[in-house]
Amino acid sequence: MNKNYDNIIAASQKYLNLIAREELTTEEKEWVVKEVVEGFRENVNPGFLDYRKSVSTDYTSVEWKDSGSTFTDIWGKEFIDCLGGYGIYNVGHRHPKVMKAVTDQLKRQALHSQELLDPLRAFLAKLVADITPGDLQYVFFVNSGTESVEAAIKFAKMYTGRRGFISTTRAFHGKSLGSLSATAKGVFRKPFLPLMPGFHHVPYGNADAVAMMLESCAFVGEDVAAVIVEPIQGEGGVIIPPDDYLPRLRELCDQYGTLLILDEVQTGMGRTGTMFACERNNVVPDLLCLAKAFGGGIMPIGATVARKPIWEKLIENPFLHTTTFGGNPVCCAAAIANINVLMEEKLPQRSAESGAYMMSKLLPLARQYPAVVDAVRGRGLMIGIEFVNDELGYEVAKGLFARGVLVAGTLINAKSIRIEPPLTISREQQDQVIERLADTLKEVNASL
């Protein structure tokens, strides 16, 4: 089939011209909305249109720009971001220091040759080794959270020679085949069964269940390579385990010669009030998975961090597990600036303080509407609100959207929405969120 390259060139140039423009006319804005809706319907996935339509009935909320703790749609309506891109905007939207690092590196070099030693990967790995708990030392850089979990699974199998894994109910570790095997929701798993063999799921927060599974697997000769858990379950609905949960898992893993993988893709980089959630329990994993906020809200980058012994086979053959774009110079520049900003601006501490403040407002507010809100829980600025049913949760999200606050549900627990704003969110913006939530809850409660 012949392609009309002149039309393709003209269309792509029109898109480039729009990217370069700071302001658009009303006619141009209308054209963008029409083009975007058509593109999603015909070339991306019309399911996303159905998902968003009930919130933005005419699809006009096409996002256009962002800054700080807000983003703005193409018509200039500003939203306070309490979704945070599912946890990627810890240092805010387009932080100036992260932006500068990226643009400075772009002026020099965008991607590396793959053959020579690239400096920023070494620099960033040293910083990661310094900020992560205990004796975690070696770092494998990837592009996303699911890739960091995939790498951890492979490294655990490679080091232990075992094939079994223990994950938990309500877990979310990604959707590529290996990480999906650890993820717990049937709707994501069933279309792709059979998944990677050897995964066992036990109730989250129950160390006794992990102990029983480890004992059973050892008894039948199917020793477990690793236990993989989130320190706080994000997509499960912001589920916080008992204080002794992670320490007990560490003891059990040591007892059975099993590795402990902590998935801090969503909890890491200051989100829960410490740089990493496991620090609160003084637990050092064998493998730590990072992504989301690791790139400073600018670039996609993740990492799998490990203790030195686990790297022995990779030292012998560094090509056992590789990635073309993981650890590229531009993404590393963003991550280096991100670490600098988190520590210089004391954002983990700020997260703890802001989270305590918001919980002090959210808990009494929730108690006013027991027919709507079932529970509020969180740590730092990772807060979940669970509703009596998922329909009520959706109505609250819809009401907040109409009032200029963006939230979203959690993928595993449909009854919960997350409050996960940038750690830089101001006290004034927090008060606005609480006020708008109060108005929304009053409205939803009155409709019952």
The domain limits of the chain are 47-94+347-447, 96-344
Neighbouring C-beta atoms of residue 441, cutoff 10 Å: 23
pTM: 0.95
Rounded CA-CA distance 421/408 in Å is 11
Q: How confident is the model at residue 47 (pLDDT cuts 50, 70, 90)?
A: confident
Q: Helix H segments across 293-408?
A: 312-316, 329-344, 347-367, 390-402
Q: How confident is the model at residue 209 (pLDDT cuts 50, 70, 90)?
A: very high
The pLDDT value given to residue 14: 95
Tokens of 317: 């053959």
What percentage of the chain has pLDDT greater than the value 70? 98
Rounded CA-CA distance 286/137 in Å is 10
Rounded CA-CA distance 121/142 in Å is 11
Burial degree of 143 (CB within 10 A; 0-12, 13-18, 19+): buried
Rounded CA-CA distance 222/198 in Å is 9
Tokens of 185: 């929701």
Per-residue pLDDT at 70 exceeds 90:
yes
Burial degree of 44 (CB within 10 A; 0-12, 13-18, 19+): exposed
The pLDDT value given to residue 414: 80
pLDDT in tens, 349-387: 999 999 999 999 999 999 999 999 999 999 999 999 999
pLDDT in tens, 260-297: 999 999 999 999 999 999 999 999 999 999 999 999 99
List Cβ neighbours of 77 (8 Å cut-off, separation of 6 or more). Answer: 61, 404
CATH topology for the 96-344 domain? Aspartate Aminotransferase; domain 2 (3.40.640)
Closest CA to 171 of 136, 206, 142: 206
Strand 287-290 to strand 302-307: parallel, antiparallel, or no bridges (unpaired)?
antiparallel
Per-residue pLDDT at 53 exceeds 80:
no
The pLDDT value given to residue 57: 53
Cis previous bond, 133, omega within 30 = no
Residue with token string 């590196």: 105
Rounded CA-CA distance 424/113 in Å is 36
Q: Helix H segments across 183-297?
A: 186-189, 207-219, 245-256
CB–CB of 297/92 below 8 Å? Answer: yes
Q: How confident is the model at residue 52 (pLDDT cuts 50, 70, 90)?
A: low
Rounded CA-CA distance 244/34 in Å is 53
Rounded CA-CA distance 58/52 in Å is 10
Q: How confident is the model at residue 37 (pLDDT cuts 50, 70, 90)?
A: confident
CB–CB of 414/390 below 8 Å? Answer: yes
CATH of 47-94+347-447, one of 3.90.1150.10, 3.40.190.10, 3.40.50.150, 3.30.420.40: 3.90.1150.10
Q: How confident is the model at residue 56 (pLDDT cuts 50, 70, 90)?
A: low
Neighbouring C-beta atoms of residue 294, cutoff 10 Å: 29
Give DSSP secondary structure letters for 234-265. TTTTSBPPPTTHHHHHHHHHHHHT-EEEEE-T
- What sign for the dihedral angle of Cα 22, 26, 27, 30? positive
The pLDDT value given to residue 58: 55
Helix (H/G/I), strand (E/B), else coil: 405: strand
307-333: average pLDDT: 94
Tokens of 197: 């063999």
Angle between helical axes of 245-256 and 207-219 (0-180°, round to 10)? 10
Mean pLDDT of the chain: 94
Backbone angles phi, psi at 384, to 5 degrees: -120, 140
Tokens of 140: 């494998």
Backbone angles phi, psi at 184, to 5 degrees: -110, -10
